Amino acid sequence: MKKKEWLERHQIAVYAVALAIGIAAGLVSEPFGRSMEWLISPLLAVLLYGMFTMIPFLQLREALANRRFVAALLLTNFVCVPLVVWGLLVLLPQSGAALIGVCLVLLTPCIDYVIVFTALGRGDEKAITAATPLLFVLQMLLLPLYLRLFAGEEAAELVKVEPFVEAFLMLIALPLAAAVLTQLWAKWERSMRRSADSVSKTRKNGTGTRLLAAAAWLPVPFMALVLIAVTASQISRIAADPGPVLRVLPLYALFLLIMPLLSRLIGRLLRLDAGSGRALIFSAFTRNSLVVLPLALALPREAAAAAAAVIVAQTIMELIGELIYVRAVPGLIWRDTVQAGGTKGKERAVEV
């Protein structure tokens, strides 16, 4: 097995070890842990570049072709999730920076490692991969509106426009632009090879193609490094003032319980096949914590610490949930049917 495939297959374990290392480092030496905070932004920039290169931004038309799945995905993530989050915030109200952190992380669907968890949970990872550009564009457009509606005027005042825009441009827009340019470069090289009369007239693997292949190695190790840096720098703050994090844990737990069941119902109503239905379930509860983390860190210092801690707590809970759902989704929530004679028939949802 290739090293890259090994990393991808065992990435949950890699992330768990990274979290443990970060927590231990931050608790053993608070000054050392705090000193790692400056590493978060550059590590995130490299991580997001690597993740963005794996998103097929040049295949948006393909994403829109599976209209039933796209409709279910949009309905779930941009209608049902906001309604569920609103209900949870009424039931378990948050305030200030913690409220902003909750809104940032729960209202933005994951566009990166959800693909891996979907594959592990026997979902259609190709369908969710094709839809990621659409999910990314829509969540970035809707996020300012969500913050205004859900966080309210008082909390929204904590969001200063200048650092927020700077964080978005440097840690999201710039890596995104670099990733799209890398994809275009590699695509241009492939078209040149196809149009050449013989392979000898053009390099078999051009620089753009090699760069795109190298970028595919970045997500797992750099996500582990980001998790170490984030947890090491924030864990002492969480330990010193655990109140905000403890208050959001029940909210996150309820979200993890509600969304798989609700998205399964939506998938059945729209008559998705099992692969697409499982992909919908994973998209519904897997959130975009690492992409929105730079936006949380752009808040004023104390607010940034609280919002980042709330987002890190969601990441930890979500990874625990993923370990459960990669087995529960195909084994319990959306199983294959078995016809007489023991052969698998057409996949569909389990009857309630």
pLDDT tens digits for 96-148? 889 999 999 999 998 877 887 888 899 988 888 778 878 888 888 888 888 88
In terms of pLDDT, which residue wins out, 7 or 155? 7
Determine the average pLDDT of the residues in 207-213: 87
Helix %, strand %, coil % of the chain (to 5): 80, 0, 20
Residue 43 to residue 233: CA distance in whole angstroms: 14
User: Would you say residue 77 lies in a domain?
Assistant: yes
Residue 167: pLDDT over 80:
no
Percentage, residues of the chain above pLDDT 70: 87
Q: Count CA atoms closer than 13 A to 196's CA, side-chain side.
A: 13
Determine the average pLDDT of the residues in 74-90: 96
Residue 288: pLDDT over 80:
yes
Q: How far is CA 12 from CA 118, 164, 315, in A?
A: 13, 30, 12
Residue 157: pLDDT over 90:
no
User: Would you say residue 92 lies in a domain?
Assistant: yes
User: Would you say residue 82 lies in a domain?
Assistant: yes
Residue 352: predicted pLDDT: 28
Which of the four pLDDT bands, split at 50, 70 and 90, describes residue 152? confident
Q: How far is CA 189 from CA 175, 176, 183, 203, 211, in A?
A: 21, 20, 10, 9, 12
Residue 227: predicted pLDDT: 86
- Cβ burial of 180 (10 Å; 0-12, 13-18, 19+) is middle
31-45, 202-216, 260-274, 275-289: segment of lowest average pLDDT = 202-216
Residue 13 to residue 19: CA distance in whole angstroms: 10
Record the pTM.
0.79
For 296, the token pair is 């949380």
Residue 197: pLDDT over 60:
no
In terms of pLDDT, which residue wins out, 12 or 103? 103
Sign of the CA dihedral running 198, 200, 203, 209: positive
User: Would you say residue 198 lies in a domain?
Assistant: yes
User: Would you say residue 349 lies in a domain?
Assistant: no
User: Would you say residue 350 lies in a domain?
Assistant: no
Residue 344: pLDDT over 60:
no
Residue 349: predicted pLDDT: 40
> Tokens 């170490």 sit at which residue?
228
Residue 88 to residue 93: CA distance in whole angstroms: 8
Question: Averaging pLDDT over each range in 53-57, 82-86, 157-161, 339-343, which range is the top one?
Answer: 82-86
**DSSP of 151-216, one letter per residue?**
IHHHHHTT--HHHHHHHHIIIIIHHHHHHHHHHHHHHHHHHHHHHSSSGGGS-SS-HHHHHHHHHT
Q: What is the pLDDT of residues 225-267, one digit of tens each?
A: 988 998 898 888 788 878 888 999 999 999 999 999 999 999 9
Which residues are 344's β-sheet partners?
A: 338
Query: Which CATH number belongs to the domain containing residue 194 in this structure?
Result: 1.20.1530.20
With a CB cutoff of 8 Å and minimum separation 6, the contacts of 247 are: 92, 94, 98
Which of the four pLDDT bands, split at 50, 70 and 90, describes residue 28? very high
User: Would you say residue 297 lies in a domain?
Assistant: yes
Residue 155: predicted pLDDT: 66
User: Would you say residue 341 lies in a domain?
Assistant: no
Residue 307: predicted pLDDT: 87
The answer to whether 48 and 175 have CB atoms below 8 angstroms apart is: yes
Give me the number of domains the chain comprises. 1
Range of the domain at 33: 3-331
In terms of pLDDT, which residue wins out, 286 or 128? 286
Closest by alpha carbon to 121, among 333, 349, 338?
333
Sign of the CA dihedral running 208, 212, 217, 220: positive
**DSSP of 26-53, one letter per residue?**
HHH-HHHHHHTHHHHHHHHHHHHHHHHH
Which of the four pLDDT bands, split at 50, 70 and 90, describes residue 193? confident
